[in-house]
Amino acid sequence: MGKELTLPALAFILLTLLTGPAQAAPLTLPLSVSTQSTLADQFGYAPDYTRNVPAFDSVNRPFIRSRTASQHDTSFVDSLDSGVWVKSSLVSALVAAYPDFAGMLGAGGYASDRIVFDAQDRAYTVLTVRLEEGEFRNVLLYSLDHGATWSVAELPFGGEQPYYDNRDLGNVAMEYFTGHNEISGPPFIAVWREIADWPGNWASRNELWVVQPYFEGDRLVVPQPTLVTDRFLGMVQCSGGASFAATLGGQTFFVWTQITSLPKRGTPTYVGVYDRATGTVTARRRLGYALPGNDVHDTPGICADSQGVLHVLSGAHGRPMLYQHSLAPRDIAAWSLPEPVLTSGYVWKGSDIDGEGRQTYLSLVCDANDTLHIVFRQTRRNVDELYWGSKYYSLAHMSKPADGPWSPAQQLIVAADGPGYVNYYQKLAVDRRGQLYLSLNVFRRTDPVWMRPYRRFRQRMVLHSTDGLNWDFATTETFQAGLL
Protein backbone atom coordinates (compact mmCIF):
# COMPACT_ATOMS: atom_id res chain seq x y z
CA MET A 1 0.00 0.00 0.00
CA GLY A 2 1.31 3.46 -0.82
CA LYS A 3 2.16 5.83 2.02
CA GLU A 4 1.31 9.10 0.22
CA LEU A 5 -1.80 10.77 1.63
CA THR A 6 -4.47 11.98 -0.75
CA LEU A 7 -6.40 15.20 -0.19
CA PRO A 8 -9.50 13.28 1.03
CA ALA A 9 -7.32 11.37 3.50
CA LEU A 10 -5.74 14.58 4.80
CA ALA A 11 -9.15 16.19 5.15
CA PHE A 12 -10.44 13.20 7.09
CA ILE A 13 -7.48 13.27 9.49
CA LEU A 14 -7.85 17.01 10.13
CA LEU A 15 -11.59 16.64 10.74
CA THR A 16 -11.00 13.76 13.17
CA LEU A 17 -8.35 15.74 15.07
CA LEU A 18 -10.68 18.73 15.39
CA THR A 19 -13.93 16.95 16.21
CA GLY A 20 -12.99 13.42 17.28
CA PRO A 21 -14.43 10.27 15.66
CA ALA A 22 -18.11 10.39 14.80
CA GLN A 23 -20.32 8.30 17.08
CA ALA A 24 -23.27 6.60 15.47
CA ALA A 25 -26.53 6.68 17.41
CA PRO A 26 -27.72 3.32 18.79
CA LEU A 27 -30.53 1.82 16.75
CA THR A 28 -34.00 1.26 18.16
CA LEU A 29 -34.39 -2.51 18.04
CA PRO A 30 -35.72 -4.51 16.43
CA LEU A 31 -35.02 -2.65 13.23
CA SER A 32 -37.96 -3.08 10.85
CA VAL A 33 -36.62 -3.39 7.29
CA SER A 34 -38.73 -3.31 4.14
CA THR A 35 -37.48 -5.05 1.02
CA GLN A 36 -39.61 -2.67 -1.06
CA SER A 37 -37.37 0.33 -0.37
CA THR A 38 -33.64 1.02 -0.18
CA LEU A 39 -31.76 1.17 3.10
CA ALA A 40 -30.71 4.70 2.22
CA ASP A 41 -34.35 5.78 1.93
CA GLN A 42 -35.39 3.97 5.10
CA PHE A 43 -32.47 4.77 7.39
CA GLY A 44 -30.10 7.08 5.53
CA TYR A 45 -27.64 4.17 5.42
CA ALA A 46 -25.38 4.47 2.37
CA PRO A 47 -21.81 3.70 3.48
CA ASP A 48 -18.73 4.16 1.33
CA TYR A 49 -17.41 0.67 2.08
CA THR A 50 -18.40 -2.71 0.69
CA ARG A 51 -21.24 -4.14 2.77
CA ASN A 52 -19.73 -7.46 3.73
CA VAL A 53 -18.26 -9.15 6.78
CA PRO A 54 -15.01 -7.40 7.80
CA ALA A 55 -11.71 -8.92 8.90
CA PHE A 56 -9.06 -7.13 10.93
CA ASP A 57 -5.28 -7.16 10.82
CA SER A 58 -2.96 -6.85 13.83
CA VAL A 59 -3.63 -3.11 14.24
CA ASN A 60 -7.38 -3.60 13.77
CA ARG A 61 -7.43 -2.19 10.27
CA PRO A 62 -10.51 -3.52 8.41
CA PHE A 63 -10.43 -5.47 5.16
CA ILE A 64 -13.66 -6.36 3.37
CA ARG A 65 -14.05 -8.56 0.31
CA SER A 66 -16.35 -7.09 -2.33
CA ARG A 67 -19.80 -8.38 -3.14
CA THR A 68 -22.84 -7.32 -5.12
CA ALA A 69 -26.50 -8.28 -5.07
CA SER A 70 -25.43 -11.58 -6.68
CA GLN A 71 -24.65 -14.66 -4.62
CA HIS A 72 -21.69 -15.40 -6.90
CA ASP A 73 -19.60 -12.29 -7.55
CA THR A 74 -16.55 -10.78 -5.89
CA SER A 75 -13.66 -8.92 -7.51
CA PHE A 76 -11.61 -6.86 -5.03
CA VAL A 77 -10.77 -6.23 -1.39
CA ASP A 78 -11.55 -2.94 0.36
CA SER A 79 -9.08 -1.80 3.04
CA LEU A 80 -9.11 1.37 5.12
CA ASP A 81 -6.07 3.61 4.69
CA SER A 82 -6.11 6.94 6.58
CA GLY A 83 -9.88 7.14 6.43
CA VAL A 84 -10.12 6.24 2.73
CA TRP A 85 -11.11 2.85 1.34
CA VAL A 86 -8.52 1.42 -1.05
CA LYS A 87 -9.24 -1.41 -3.49
CA SER A 88 -6.95 -4.29 -4.45
CA SER A 89 -7.90 -6.64 -7.26
CA LEU A 90 -8.50 -10.35 -6.81
CA VAL A 91 -9.44 -10.91 -10.43
CA SER A 92 -6.03 -9.99 -11.82
CA ALA A 93 -4.42 -12.80 -9.80
CA LEU A 94 -7.09 -15.28 -10.91
CA VAL A 95 -6.70 -14.36 -14.59
CA ALA A 96 -2.93 -14.78 -14.30
CA ALA A 97 -3.39 -18.25 -12.77
CA TYR A 98 -6.26 -19.29 -15.06
CA PRO A 99 -6.26 -17.59 -18.51
CA ASP A 100 -9.68 -19.19 -19.12
CA PHE A 101 -11.12 -17.67 -15.90
CA ALA A 102 -14.82 -16.87 -16.40
CA GLY A 103 -16.21 -16.05 -12.94
CA MET A 104 -16.89 -17.36 -9.44
CA LEU A 105 -19.37 -19.67 -7.77
CA GLY A 106 -20.95 -18.71 -4.44
CA ALA A 107 -18.34 -16.02 -3.78
CA GLY A 108 -20.94 -13.34 -3.04
CA GLY A 109 -21.50 -14.80 0.40
CA TYR A 110 -23.25 -18.04 -0.44
CA ALA A 111 -20.22 -20.29 -0.04
CA SER A 112 -17.38 -17.92 0.87
CA ASP A 113 -16.95 -14.26 1.79
CA ARG A 114 -14.18 -13.65 4.35
CA ILE A 115 -10.60 -12.45 4.54
CA VAL A 116 -8.32 -14.06 7.17
CA PHE A 117 -5.08 -12.64 8.59
CA ASP A 118 -2.31 -14.65 10.19
CA ALA A 119 0.08 -13.47 12.93
CA GLN A 120 2.39 -11.91 10.34
CA ASP A 121 -0.48 -10.00 8.67
CA ARG A 122 -0.44 -12.18 5.59
CA ALA A 123 -3.96 -12.24 4.14
CA TYR A 124 -5.99 -15.17 2.78
CA THR A 125 -9.36 -15.88 1.21
CA VAL A 126 -10.92 -18.97 -0.40
CA LEU A 127 -12.91 -18.99 -3.62
CA THR A 128 -14.43 -21.37 -6.10
CA VAL A 129 -13.75 -20.12 -9.63
CA ARG A 130 -15.53 -21.00 -12.85
CA LEU A 131 -13.60 -21.60 -16.08
CA GLU A 132 -14.77 -20.98 -19.65
CA GLU A 133 -15.62 -24.62 -20.37
CA GLY A 134 -17.79 -24.85 -17.24
CA GLU A 135 -15.22 -26.45 -14.95
CA PHE A 136 -14.60 -25.27 -11.37
CA ARG A 137 -11.52 -24.91 -9.19
CA ASN A 138 -11.20 -24.32 -5.45
CA VAL A 139 -8.42 -21.82 -4.71
CA LEU A 140 -6.73 -20.16 -1.75
CA LEU A 141 -5.68 -16.61 -2.56
CA TYR A 142 -2.93 -15.20 -0.36
CA SER A 143 -1.16 -11.87 -0.02
CA LEU A 144 2.33 -11.31 1.35
CA ASP A 145 2.12 -7.49 1.11
CA HIS A 146 -0.86 -6.71 3.33
CA GLY A 147 -3.48 -7.22 0.64
CA ALA A 148 -1.89 -5.04 -2.06
CA THR A 149 -1.35 -7.98 -4.44
CA TRP A 150 -2.52 -11.59 -4.42
CA SER A 151 -1.28 -15.01 -5.49
CA VAL A 152 -3.21 -18.23 -6.10
CA ALA A 153 -2.80 -21.78 -4.76
CA GLU A 154 -5.16 -24.51 -5.90
CA LEU A 155 -7.11 -26.56 -3.35
CA PRO A 156 -8.57 -30.07 -3.76
CA PHE A 157 -11.96 -31.05 -5.17
CA GLY A 158 -12.84 -27.85 -7.01
CA GLY A 159 -13.60 -29.89 -10.11
CA GLU A 160 -16.21 -31.83 -8.14
CA GLN A 161 -18.11 -28.72 -7.04
CA PRO A 162 -21.83 -29.50 -6.61
CA TYR A 163 -24.16 -26.90 -8.05
CA TYR A 164 -27.92 -26.65 -7.37
CA ASP A 165 -28.91 -23.16 -8.53
CA ASN A 166 -30.26 -21.79 -5.24
CA ARG A 167 -28.47 -24.40 -3.10
CA ASP A 168 -24.81 -24.14 -4.12
CA LEU A 169 -23.49 -24.86 -0.64
CA GLY A 170 -19.86 -24.98 -1.76
CA ASN A 171 -17.31 -27.57 -0.72
CA VAL A 172 -14.47 -25.58 0.84
CA ALA A 173 -14.23 -23.62 4.11
CA MET A 174 -11.45 -22.09 6.19
CA GLU A 175 -10.90 -21.25 9.85
CA TYR A 176 -11.18 -17.57 10.72
CA PHE A 177 -10.55 -15.41 13.79
CA THR A 178 -13.29 -15.84 16.41
CA GLY A 179 -11.70 -14.03 19.33
CA HIS A 180 -8.93 -16.19 20.82
CA ASN A 181 -7.84 -18.80 18.28
CA GLU A 182 -4.25 -18.58 17.04
CA ILE A 183 -3.80 -18.29 13.29
CA SER A 184 -0.01 -18.29 13.00
CA GLY A 185 0.15 -19.16 9.30
CA PRO A 186 -2.21 -20.13 6.48
CA PRO A 187 -5.67 -21.03 7.78
CA PHE A 188 -6.83 -24.58 8.42
CA ILE A 189 -9.08 -25.69 5.55
CA ALA A 190 -11.87 -28.22 5.08
CA VAL A 191 -12.74 -29.63 1.67
CA TRP A 192 -15.38 -32.18 0.87
CA ARG A 193 -16.96 -34.01 -2.04
CA GLU A 194 -20.29 -35.73 -2.45
CA ILE A 195 -20.06 -39.48 -2.92
CA ALA A 196 -23.72 -40.56 -2.65
CA ASP A 197 -27.26 -39.38 -2.16
CA TRP A 198 -28.84 -39.78 1.26
CA PRO A 199 -32.52 -39.77 2.32
CA GLY A 200 -33.73 -36.32 3.33
CA ASN A 201 -34.36 -32.97 1.65
CA TRP A 202 -31.14 -31.53 3.05
CA ALA A 203 -28.85 -34.54 3.13
CA SER A 204 -26.07 -36.10 1.09
CA ARG A 205 -23.17 -38.38 1.89
CA ASN A 206 -19.75 -36.75 1.56
CA GLU A 207 -16.09 -37.35 2.21
CA LEU A 208 -14.66 -34.72 4.56
CA TRP A 209 -10.97 -33.92 4.25
CA VAL A 210 -8.86 -31.35 6.10
CA VAL A 211 -5.62 -29.72 4.99
CA GLN A 212 -3.10 -27.35 6.58
CA PRO A 213 -1.20 -25.30 3.99
CA TYR A 214 2.25 -23.95 4.88
CA PHE A 215 4.98 -21.75 3.43
CA GLU A 216 8.30 -22.72 1.90
CA GLY A 217 9.90 -19.30 1.70
CA ASP A 218 7.33 -17.12 -0.02
CA ARG A 219 5.66 -20.05 -1.77
CA LEU A 220 2.48 -21.44 -0.28
CA VAL A 221 2.33 -25.24 -0.30
CA VAL A 222 -0.91 -27.22 -0.15
CA PRO A 223 -0.10 -30.76 1.07
CA GLN A 224 -2.20 -33.83 0.50
CA PRO A 225 -5.42 -33.58 2.55
CA THR A 226 -6.27 -35.88 5.46
CA LEU A 227 -9.50 -37.90 5.34
CA VAL A 228 -11.76 -37.38 8.37
CA THR A 229 -14.88 -39.36 7.45
CA ASP A 230 -16.83 -40.64 4.46
CA ARG A 231 -20.16 -39.93 6.21
CA PHE A 232 -19.96 -36.13 6.31
CA LEU A 233 -23.35 -34.44 6.03
CA GLY A 234 -22.05 -31.21 4.49
CA MET A 235 -21.80 -27.62 5.66
CA VAL A 236 -24.10 -24.61 5.26
CA GLN A 237 -22.09 -21.41 4.79
CA CYS A 238 -24.59 -19.07 3.15
CA SER A 239 -26.13 -18.01 6.46
CA GLY A 240 -24.66 -18.18 9.95
CA GLY A 241 -21.19 -19.15 8.84
CA ALA A 242 -19.79 -20.15 12.24
CA SER A 243 -16.15 -21.25 12.08
CA PHE A 244 -15.71 -25.02 11.93
CA ALA A 245 -12.24 -24.84 13.52
CA ALA A 246 -10.22 -23.22 16.31
CA THR A 247 -6.43 -23.51 16.40
CA LEU A 248 -4.52 -23.32 19.69
CA GLY A 249 -0.79 -23.90 19.55
CA GLY A 250 0.06 -27.08 17.68
CA GLN A 251 -3.51 -28.38 17.58
CA THR A 252 -6.59 -27.48 15.59
CA PHE A 253 -9.96 -28.43 17.07
CA PHE A 254 -12.73 -28.80 14.52
CA VAL A 255 -16.38 -29.87 14.36
CA TRP A 256 -18.61 -31.56 11.82
CA THR A 257 -21.86 -33.51 11.42
CA GLN A 258 -22.52 -36.95 9.95
CA ILE A 259 -25.39 -38.70 8.24
CA THR A 260 -27.32 -41.23 10.24
CA SER A 261 -29.64 -44.18 9.63
CA LEU A 262 -31.61 -43.12 12.74
CA PRO A 263 -32.70 -39.56 11.90
CA LYS A 264 -35.31 -39.35 14.67
CA ARG A 265 -32.49 -39.37 17.19
CA GLY A 266 -30.86 -36.42 15.46
CA THR A 267 -27.73 -35.57 13.51
CA PRO A 268 -24.49 -36.81 15.13
CA THR A 269 -22.16 -33.89 15.92
CA TYR A 270 -18.43 -34.58 16.33
CA VAL A 271 -15.30 -32.76 17.47
CA GLY A 272 -11.82 -33.76 16.34
CA VAL A 273 -8.18 -32.83 16.94
CA TYR A 274 -5.74 -32.24 14.10
CA ASP A 275 -2.04 -32.41 14.99
CA ARG A 276 -0.33 -29.74 12.94
CA ALA A 277 3.13 -31.33 13.23
CA THR A 278 2.11 -34.73 11.88
CA GLY A 279 -0.84 -33.74 9.68
CA THR A 280 -3.06 -36.37 11.29
CA VAL A 281 -6.36 -36.45 13.14
CA THR A 282 -5.31 -37.75 16.54
CA ALA A 283 -8.63 -37.85 18.39
CA ARG A 284 -12.34 -37.50 17.78
CA ARG A 285 -15.42 -37.55 19.96
CA ARG A 286 -19.16 -37.53 19.38
CA LEU A 287 -20.68 -34.67 21.36
CA GLY A 288 -24.38 -35.29 20.83
CA TYR A 289 -27.22 -35.09 18.35
CA ALA A 290 -28.61 -32.01 16.63
CA LEU A 291 -32.15 -31.71 15.33
CA PRO A 292 -33.60 -32.45 12.89
CA GLY A 293 -31.75 -35.53 11.70
CA ASN A 294 -29.94 -35.62 8.36
CA ASP A 295 -30.27 -31.87 7.82
CA VAL A 296 -27.25 -29.82 6.70
CA HIS A 297 -28.69 -26.80 8.55
CA ASP A 298 -27.35 -28.51 11.69
CA THR A 299 -23.87 -27.18 10.80
CA PRO A 300 -22.09 -26.62 14.16
CA GLY A 301 -19.52 -24.00 15.23
CA ILE A 302 -16.57 -23.94 17.60
CA CYS A 303 -14.51 -21.23 19.31
CA ALA A 304 -12.06 -20.98 22.18
CA ASP A 305 -11.94 -18.52 25.07
CA SER A 306 -8.85 -16.84 26.53
CA GLN A 307 -8.26 -19.82 28.85
CA GLY A 308 -8.28 -22.34 26.02
CA VAL A 309 -11.68 -23.78 26.93
CA LEU A 310 -13.50 -24.96 23.82
CA HIS A 311 -17.12 -23.96 23.18
CA VAL A 312 -19.31 -25.79 20.67
CA LEU A 313 -22.86 -25.10 19.54
CA SER A 314 -24.74 -27.46 17.31
CA GLY A 315 -26.68 -26.01 14.47
CA ALA A 316 -30.42 -26.50 14.17
CA HIS A 317 -33.28 -26.07 11.71
CA GLY A 318 -36.19 -24.62 13.62
CA ARG A 319 -35.12 -26.37 16.85
CA PRO A 320 -33.07 -25.25 19.87
CA MET A 321 -29.33 -25.11 19.32
CA LEU A 322 -27.33 -27.11 21.86
CA TYR A 323 -24.35 -25.73 23.78
CA GLN A 324 -21.39 -27.61 25.31
CA HIS A 325 -17.93 -26.67 26.57
CA SER A 326 -14.83 -28.71 27.24
CA LEU A 327 -14.14 -29.44 30.90
CA ALA A 328 -10.41 -28.81 30.47
CA PRO A 329 -8.55 -26.35 28.23
CA ARG A 330 -7.36 -27.64 24.86
CA ASP A 331 -8.79 -31.08 25.55
CA ILE A 332 -11.75 -32.87 23.97
CA ALA A 333 -11.84 -35.82 26.41
CA ALA A 334 -14.66 -34.51 28.62
CA TRP A 335 -17.52 -32.09 27.96
CA SER A 336 -20.46 -30.52 29.71
CA LEU A 337 -23.84 -32.03 28.95
CA PRO A 338 -25.66 -30.55 25.94
CA GLU A 339 -28.05 -27.78 26.99
CA PRO A 340 -30.62 -26.01 24.81
CA VAL A 341 -29.72 -22.38 24.22
CA LEU A 342 -33.23 -21.02 23.54
CA THR A 343 -36.36 -22.46 25.14
CA SER A 344 -39.05 -19.87 24.33
CA GLY A 345 -40.46 -17.65 21.60
CA TYR A 346 -42.71 -19.96 19.57
CA VAL A 347 -46.08 -20.53 21.23
CA TRP A 348 -48.46 -23.13 19.88
CA LYS A 349 -50.88 -25.68 21.31
CA GLY A 350 -48.09 -28.16 21.97
CA SER A 351 -45.86 -25.75 23.92
CA ASP A 352 -45.90 -24.25 27.40
CA ILE A 353 -46.94 -20.64 28.05
CA ASP A 354 -43.72 -19.00 26.83
CA GLY A 355 -43.33 -21.39 23.91
CA GLU A 356 -40.36 -23.33 22.65
CA GLY A 357 -37.09 -22.26 21.08
CA ARG A 358 -36.70 -22.37 17.31
CA GLN A 359 -33.30 -21.41 15.92
CA THR A 360 -31.59 -21.74 12.53
CA TYR A 361 -28.20 -20.66 11.12
CA LEU A 362 -25.48 -20.28 13.76
CA SER A 363 -23.03 -17.37 13.96
CA LEU A 364 -20.57 -17.61 16.89
CA VAL A 365 -17.67 -15.57 18.32
CA CYS A 366 -16.05 -14.98 21.73
CA ASP A 367 -15.22 -11.41 22.79
CA ALA A 368 -12.31 -10.01 24.83
CA ASN A 369 -14.16 -10.68 28.11
CA ASP A 370 -14.79 -14.34 27.20
CA THR A 371 -18.46 -13.63 26.54
CA LEU A 372 -19.91 -15.84 23.81
CA HIS A 373 -22.10 -14.16 21.22
CA ILE A 374 -24.40 -15.93 18.82
CA VAL A 375 -26.68 -14.55 16.11
CA PHE A 376 -29.32 -16.69 14.44
CA ARG A 377 -32.67 -16.64 12.70
CA GLN A 378 -35.43 -17.12 15.24
CA THR A 379 -38.88 -18.42 14.36
CA ARG A 380 -41.44 -16.58 16.53
CA ARG A 381 -45.18 -16.95 17.09
CA ASN A 382 -47.76 -15.60 19.55
CA VAL A 383 -45.21 -13.79 21.74
CA ASP A 384 -45.76 -10.21 20.59
CA GLU A 385 -48.18 -8.13 18.55
CA LEU A 386 -46.23 -8.31 15.33
CA TYR A 387 -48.24 -9.89 12.51
CA TRP A 388 -51.17 -10.64 14.85
CA GLY A 389 -49.56 -13.71 16.35
CA SER A 390 -48.64 -15.32 13.03
CA LYS A 391 -45.37 -17.16 12.61
CA TYR A 392 -42.53 -14.92 11.46
CA TYR A 393 -38.73 -14.89 11.28
CA SER A 394 -36.50 -12.42 13.11
CA LEU A 395 -32.75 -12.06 13.39
CA ALA A 396 -31.77 -12.45 17.04
CA HIS A 397 -28.72 -12.21 19.28
CA MET A 398 -27.88 -14.00 22.53
CA SER A 399 -24.82 -13.86 24.73
CA LYS A 400 -23.29 -15.93 27.50
CA PRO A 401 -20.76 -14.35 29.88
CA ALA A 402 -18.01 -16.51 31.34
CA ASP A 403 -19.58 -18.70 34.05
CA GLY A 404 -23.01 -17.12 33.42
CA PRO A 405 -26.26 -18.20 31.74
CA TRP A 406 -27.41 -17.41 28.24
CA SER A 407 -29.23 -14.09 27.89
CA PRO A 408 -32.78 -13.84 26.56
CA ALA A 409 -33.03 -13.53 22.78
CA GLN A 410 -32.53 -9.93 21.69
CA GLN A 411 -34.46 -9.09 18.53
CA LEU A 412 -32.22 -7.24 16.06
CA ILE A 413 -34.06 -7.24 12.71
CA VAL A 414 -37.55 -8.04 11.47
CA ALA A 415 -38.92 -7.86 7.95
CA ALA A 416 -41.52 -5.10 7.55
CA ASP A 417 -43.39 -6.61 4.60
CA GLY A 418 -45.24 -9.51 6.18
CA PRO A 419 -44.72 -12.80 8.00
CA GLY A 420 -43.60 -14.94 5.03
CA TYR A 421 -40.24 -16.63 4.52
CA VAL A 422 -37.21 -14.48 5.35
CA ASN A 423 -33.51 -15.29 5.39
CA TYR A 424 -30.99 -12.83 6.84
CA TYR A 425 -27.79 -14.45 5.52
CA GLN A 426 -25.92 -13.08 8.52
CA LYS A 427 -22.20 -13.38 9.31
CA LEU A 428 -20.65 -12.30 12.63
CA ALA A 429 -17.09 -11.03 13.16
CA VAL A 430 -15.10 -9.87 16.18
CA ASP A 431 -12.26 -7.38 15.88
CA ARG A 432 -8.96 -7.22 17.80
CA ARG A 433 -10.62 -5.11 20.50
CA GLY A 434 -13.43 -7.65 20.96
CA GLN A 435 -16.06 -5.47 19.29
CA LEU A 436 -18.74 -7.05 17.12
CA TYR A 437 -19.56 -6.54 13.47
CA LEU A 438 -22.64 -8.17 11.97
CA SER A 439 -23.06 -8.39 8.21
CA LEU A 440 -26.62 -9.21 7.16
CA ASN A 441 -29.22 -9.06 4.44
CA VAL A 442 -33.01 -9.13 4.42
CA PHE A 443 -34.23 -11.51 1.72
CA ARG A 444 -37.80 -12.39 0.83
CA ARG A 445 -38.96 -14.62 -2.01
CA THR A 446 -40.36 -11.82 -4.17
CA ASP A 447 -38.22 -12.49 -7.25
CA PRO A 448 -38.73 -15.40 -9.67
CA VAL A 449 -36.60 -18.42 -8.80
CA TRP A 450 -34.30 -17.93 -11.79
CA MET A 451 -33.54 -14.35 -10.76
CA ARG A 452 -32.86 -14.90 -7.05
CA PRO A 453 -29.16 -15.85 -7.33
CA TYR A 454 -28.49 -12.48 -8.98
CA ARG A 455 -30.62 -10.28 -6.70
CA ARG A 456 -30.41 -12.13 -3.40
CA PHE A 457 -28.25 -9.62 -1.49
CA ARG A 458 -29.80 -6.26 -2.40
CA GLN A 459 -30.63 -5.29 1.22
CA ARG A 460 -27.17 -5.64 2.75
CA MET A 461 -25.92 -3.82 5.85
CA VAL A 462 -23.20 -4.01 8.51
CA LEU A 463 -24.02 -3.38 12.18
CA HIS A 464 -21.55 -2.65 14.97
CA SER A 465 -21.68 -3.19 18.74
CA THR A 466 -19.22 -2.74 21.56
CA ASP A 467 -21.17 -4.93 24.00
CA GLY A 468 -23.79 -6.95 22.10
CA LEU A 469 -26.56 -4.87 23.72
CA ASN A 470 -26.48 -1.66 21.71
CA TRP A 471 -26.08 -1.76 17.94
CA ASP A 472 -25.56 0.91 15.29
CA PHE A 473 -24.79 1.08 11.59
CA ALA A 474 -21.06 0.67 11.03
CA THR A 475 -19.50 3.71 9.36
CA THR A 476 -16.04 4.51 8.07
CA GLU A 477 -15.61 6.55 11.23
CA THR A 478 -16.53 3.48 13.31
CA PHE A 479 -13.77 1.47 11.67
CA GLN A 480 -11.25 4.31 11.88
CA ALA A 481 -11.93 4.83 15.60
CA GLY A 482 -11.22 1.14 16.24
CA LEU A 483 -7.61 1.23 15.06
CA LEU A 484 -5.04 0.20 17.64
DSSP string across 179-211: SS----SSPPEEEEEEEEE-SSTB-EEEEEEEE
Report how far Cα 57 is from the mean position of its chain's Cα atoms. Answer: 17
- Tens-digit pLDDT string for the chain (484 aa): 343 444 444 444 443 444 334 456 899 999 999 999 999 999 999 999 999 999 999 999 999 999 999 999 999 999 999 999 999 999 999 999 999 999 999 999 999 999 999 999 999 999 999 999 989 999 999 999 999 999 999 999 988 866 655 566 789 999 999 999 999 999 999 999 999 999 998 999 999 999 999 999 999 999 999 999 999 999 999 999 999 999 999 999 999 999 999 999 999 999 999 999 999 999 999 999 999 999 999 999 999 999 999 999 999 999 999 999 999 999 999 999 999 999 999 999 999 999 999 999 999 999 999 999 999 999 999 999 899 999 999 999 999 999 999 999 999 999 999 999 999 999 999 999 999 999 999 999 988 988 988 899 999 999 999 999 999 999 999 999 999 9
- Return the number of other C-beta atoms located less than 10 Å from residue 75's C-beta: 17
369: left (phi over 0), alpha (psi -120 to 50) or beta: alpha
What is the rounded CA–CA span in Å between residue 304 and residue 330?
9
- Return the number of other C-beta atoms located less than 10 Å from residue 4's C-beta: 6
Is-contact 133 141, C-beta < 8 A? no
Q: For residue 30, what are the contacts with CB-CB under 8 A and spacing of at least 6?
A: 394, 395, 411, 412, 413, 414
Side chain identity, residue 80: L
Q: For residue 425, what are the contacts with CB-CB under 8 A and spacing of at least 6?
A: 109, 238, 239, 440, 441, 443, 456, 457
Q: For residue 4, what are the contacts with CB-CB under 8 A and spacing of at least 6?
A: none
pLDDT in tens, 174-231: 999 999 999 999 999 999 999 999 999 899 999 999 999 999 999 999 999 999 999 9
Query: Which H or E run contains 478?
Result: helix 476-481
